[in-house]
Every structure is written in structure tokens, then in C-alpha cells.
């Protein structure tokens, strides 16, 4: 048996036509899965019994096995197990008027950011399209009738290092025949893989969704210390690539900056970051994230007064800057805390 969720509408139409089903059947099937979130073929009642039986024998929908739900005041972390026994973490964030789902794209991560818990165990493998989509399907079914309106690829892994599977998952999420989210409600967060960002800028599926890039230091050497990937994806080239990114007028790239006590949280760093952005103030907004602690890492969170002073300096330079106080810290579900582990 194979999974049905890696297929887009055109691909599923080819298959259903080959099996002698009417041309509209593929759209009906996708309507059940992505609009009604019904994953039992037997209950897809406007499809003939014979076709339902055939689909049930041919396809699986769920690629992940639900393991545990860990609630917190502002979020819920979900643990899933893959067919080969690995743990995937997904976090549902409750905002004031909507739900946001933070999905994982890899098991572990190879980027190696020194302050990120996900990097401690290295990369195990990429998640497949069906494993990414199933995170959404399973969480959405658990929170019905509320609807998840935002998806952020900010969970375990570097999304652009798993380009094809992430691209296909995004296609399913934003297409009218799929989950049909607005492109402006889907975000990819990357450590700054320059070649993949350039590829993304020319990609009709990915170029219009939100792009967030982890900067974390305004100096090349300091960024290399915190993010070794900067040795091959240099800061200045990265910033220039982002300045050239063909966003429509009025759209801005999010520069994410994790503030770590005594390392990158100084006034000098704030001024240097402002100068790095330079005259391209309308192209970017800065998201300041006070470091989320992990017991296995030596870093500390700065005082909020220091965070707001950093923000004040950037605002004084004309740069839109916001402080993001992460949700899910108590269940190790916040930015940089996901680590394919269970709570004890």
C-alpha cells in the first residue's frame, strides 16, 4: 500500500483515470481529506462502494502514529511516531483569534546552531511529504470545529534542506483543491541556505509565502560561532540575496534574531544589525526572540529590559522591530527547544 497525500490533484487525476474512475473523482477524494478532514475511505459517501473498497485496499492516509498530547496554557505539543520508529514533534499555538501550527520538516537537524536543542542529536532523516501533511491532518481533526489558519515551518529541521518534500507539502496546503490556506498564512523559517533561497525566489509555489531567516548576529565571525552554516552561507551574501528577493511591494522578509545573554544582545550588536539592513528598511522586519533555555545547553536568556533596549535602538534607526515572547516553553515546544524527545 502507498500513501495518498503526496499526490497533487493532477497526479491523482491521472491515477483515478487509469483505474476507470470518472474525472471528477480525484477532486472529491481530496475534498473529503482536505476540506472535511475525513480519512476513512468507507465514510466518503458520494463515492461508490466499489471505489471506496478499492481506495481502502490501495491507499493509506496517515503516515504518523499519534503518541502523546502535552498541553500548556498557550500551546499544545503533539508527539508522533514514524513508521521507522522516530519521534516527530508538532506544536499548536493558540493566538488571540486564531490557531497556528508549527510543523517539523526533518527528524533532527544538520545545521548545527549552537543554541538550538534540535541540533544536539544531529540529523536522522528528512520527513516525507505525507509525514509533513499528516501533522496538519491529525492535529486539525483533534481541534475541530476550530480551524488551523496559519502554518509555520519552524519545527524540527531546516525546511530548505528538505526542499522537494516541503515544496509539495506547501502546494497541498495552499492550493484550492487542498487545504486552501492563504499563501500569506504559510511561513518557512530557514537558517539562511543561500542557494535554496534563490531557488525559492523563482519557484511559483514557494516564492509568495512568508519567508523568515535566522540572522542571530550582525557580524560574520560571531554568526559563524553561533551558526556554523554561515561559513558556507556568508552573512553579507545572505543579506544581499534577501535584498534582491522579489517580494511584492508591501511584503517584508522576517529577520529572526535570537537574543542570548552576553553574546549577541549588546547595544553595539543592535546598531550593527541596523547598519546591515541599511537603506532597505522597507524590505525587512526584525523579530527579536529572547533565548529559550534548554538544560543541555549553556546559554541564558537576557533580561527583558535588555531585549526592549535592543528593540528601541532598531526602531530609532527606522527598522520595524518586534519582540516575540515564545509560547510553549513549559513543554519544551518553543523556538529552538524541539528535540525528538518526550516529557518525563
**The CATH number of the domain where 14 resides is what?**
1.10.150.530
Torsion of Cα atoms, 156 then 186 then 192 then 103, to 10°? 0
Angle between helical axes of 25-34 and 9-18 (0-180°, round to 10):
130
pLDDT score for 295: 84
pLDDT score for 326: 64
Q: Is 187 annotated as a binding residue?
A: no
Q: Which of 19, 44, 60 is the last residue of a domain?
A: 60
Q: How many other C-beta atoms can be found within 10 angstroms of the C-beta atom of residue 25?
A: 21
Residue 113 lies in a domain: yes
Q: Is 264 annotated as a binding residue?
A: no
How far, in Å, CA of 312 to CA of 342, rounded? 38
Q: Do 31 and 177 belong together in one domain?
A: no
* β-bridge pairing 87-94 and 210-214: unpaired
Q: What is the pLDDT of residues 63-107, one digit of tens each?
A: 999 999 999 888 999 999 999 999 999 999 998 889 999 999 999
Q: Do 286 and 159 belong together in one domain?
A: yes
How far, in Å, CA of 162 to CA of 196, rounded? 10
Residue 338 lies in a domain: no
Q: Do 132 and 54 belong together in one domain?
A: no
How far is residue 7 CA from its own chain's centroid?
A: 20
Residue 336 lies in a domain: no
| Residue 335 annotated as catalytic | yes
Q: Do 229 and 250 belong together in one domain?
A: yes
Residue 258 lies in a domain: yes
Q: Is 109 annotated as a binding residue?
A: yes
Residue 257's pLDDT band (cuts 50, 70, 90): very high
Task: Please state the φ and ψ torsions of residue 87, each to the nearest 5 degrees.
Answer: -95, 135
Q: Give yes or no for residue 299 having a pLDDT over 50.
A: yes
How far, in Å, CA of 256 to CA of 212, rounded? 7
Q: Is 105 annotated as a binding residue?
A: no
Residue 69 lies in a domain: yes
pLDDT score for 86: 96
Q: Do 173 and 35 belong together in one domain?
A: no
CATH number of the domain enclosing 290: 3.20.20.70
Q: Is 4 annotated as a binding residue?
A: no
Q: Give yes or no for residue 328 having a pLDDT over 60.
A: no
Residue 327's pLDDT band (cuts 50, 70, 90): low
The stretch 280-287 carries a mean pLDDT of: 95
Contact at 8 Å (CB) between 105 and 132? yes
Which residue range is the domain that position 103 belongs to?
Answer: 64-331
How far, in Å, CA of 154 to CA of 39, rounded? 26
The stretch 140-166 carries a mean pLDDT of: 96
Q: Which of 51, 89, 130, 256 is flagged as catalytic?
A: 89
Q: Say which residue, 288 or 327, is predicted with more confidence.
A: 288
Q: Do 237 and 122 belong together in one domain?
A: yes
Q: Is 108 annotated as a binding residue?
A: no
Q: Do 53 and 188 belong together in one domain?
A: no
Q: Do 228 and 136 belong together in one domain?
A: yes
Q: How large a percentage of the chain has pLDDT more than 70?
A: 94
Q: Is 262 annotated as a binding residue?
A: no
pLDDT score for 332: 44
Q: Which of 15, 39, 60 is the last residue of a domain?
A: 60
Q: Can you spell out the DSSP letters for 207-247?
A: TTSEEEEE---SSHHHHHHH-GGGGTS-HHHHHHHHHT--P
Name the average pLDDT for the chain: 92
pLDDT score for 92: 97
pLDDT score for 16: 95
Q: Do 41 and 153 belong together in one domain?
A: no
Residue 341 lies in a domain: no
| Residue 102 annotated as catalytic | no
Q: Which of 60, 87, 109 is the last residue of a domain?
A: 60
Q: Do 15 and 93 belong together in one domain?
A: no
Q: Which of 73, 300, 335, 342 is flagged as catalytic?
A: 335
Q: Say which residue, 117 or 344, is predicted with more confidence.
A: 117
How far, in Å, CA of 90 to CA of 156, rounded? 8
Bridge partners, residue 23, by sequence: none
Residue 337 lies in a domain: no
Q: Do 152 and 288 belong together in one domain?
A: yes
Residue 269 lies in a domain: yes
Q: Give yes or no for residue 306 having a pLDDT over 90.
A: yes
Q: Do 214 and 253 belong together in one domain?
A: yes
Q: What is the pLDDT of residues 4-26, one digit of tens each?
A: 999 999 999 999 999 999 989 99
pTM beyond 0.75: yes
Task: Please state the φ and ψ torsions of residue 251, each to the nearest 5 degrees.
Answer: -90, 145
Q: Give the total number of structural domains in the chain.
A: 2
Q: Give yes or no for residue 170 having a pLDDT over 70.
A: yes
The stretch 110-130 carries a mean pLDDT of: 88
Angle between helical axes of 235-243 and 267-277 (0-180°, round to 10):
50
Q: What is the pLDDT of residues 232-255, one digit of tens each?
A: 999 999 999 999 999 888 899 999
Amino acid at each position: 500500500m502507498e500513501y495518498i497525500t503526496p499526490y497533487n490533484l493532477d497526479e491523482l487525476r491521472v491515477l483515478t483515470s487509469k483505474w476507470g474512475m470518472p474525472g471528477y473523482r480525484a477532486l472529491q477524494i481530496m475534498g473529503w481529506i482536505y476540506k472535511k478532514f475525513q480519512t476513512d475511505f468507507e465514510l466518503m459517501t458520494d463515492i461508490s462502494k466499489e471505489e471506496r473498497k478499492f481506495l481502502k485496499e490501495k491507499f493509506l492516509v496517515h503516515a504518523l502514529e499519534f503518541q502523546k498530547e502535552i498541553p500548556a496554557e498557550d500551546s499544545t505539543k503533539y508527539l508522533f511516531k514514524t513508521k521507522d520508529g522516530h519521534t516527530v514533534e508538532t506544536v499548536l499555538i493558540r493566538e488571540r483569534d486564531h490557531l497556528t501550527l508549527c510543523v517539523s520538516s526533518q527528524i533532527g537537524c544538520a545545521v548545527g546552531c549552537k543554541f538550538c536543542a534540535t541540533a544536539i542529536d544531529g540529523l536522522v532523516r528528512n520527513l516525507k511529504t505525507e509525514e509533513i501533511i499528516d501533522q496538519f491532518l491529525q492535529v486539525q481533526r483533534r481541534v475541530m470545529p476550530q480551524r488551523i489558519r496559519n502554518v509555520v515551518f519552524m519545527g524540527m529541521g531546516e525546511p530548505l534542506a528538505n526542499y522537494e518534500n516541503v515544496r509539495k507539502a506547501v502546494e497541498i496546503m495552499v492550493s484550492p483543491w487542498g487545504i486552501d490556506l492563504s499563501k500569506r498564512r504559510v511561513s518557512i523559517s530557514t537558517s539562511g541556505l543561500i542557494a535554496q533561497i534563490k531557488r525559492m525566489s523563482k519557484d511559483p509555489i514557494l516564492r509568495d509565502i512568508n519567508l523568515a531567516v535566522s540572522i542571530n548576529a550582525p557580524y560574520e565571525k560571531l554568526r559563524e560561532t553561533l551558526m556554523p552554516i554561515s561559513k558556507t552561507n556568508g552573512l553579507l551574501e545572505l543579506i544581499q540575496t534577501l535584498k534582491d528577493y522579489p517580494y511584492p511591494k508591501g511584503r517584508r522578509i522576517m529577520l529572526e534574531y535570537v537574543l542570548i545573554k552576553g553574546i549577541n544582545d549588546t547595544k553595539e550588536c543592535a546598531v550593527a544589525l541596523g547598519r546591515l539592513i541599511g537603506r532597505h528598511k522597507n524590505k525587512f522586519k526584525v523579530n527579536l526572540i529572547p533565548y529559550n533555555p534548554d538544560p543541555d545547553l549553556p546559554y541564558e536568556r537576557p533580561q527583558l529590559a535588555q531585549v526592549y533596549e535592543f528593540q528601541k535602538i532598531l526602531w530609532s534607526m527606522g527598522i520595524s522591530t518586534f519582540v516575540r515572547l515564545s509560547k510553549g516553553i513549559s513543554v519544551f515546544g518553543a523556538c529552538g527547544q524541539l528535540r525528538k524527545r518526550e516529557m518525563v
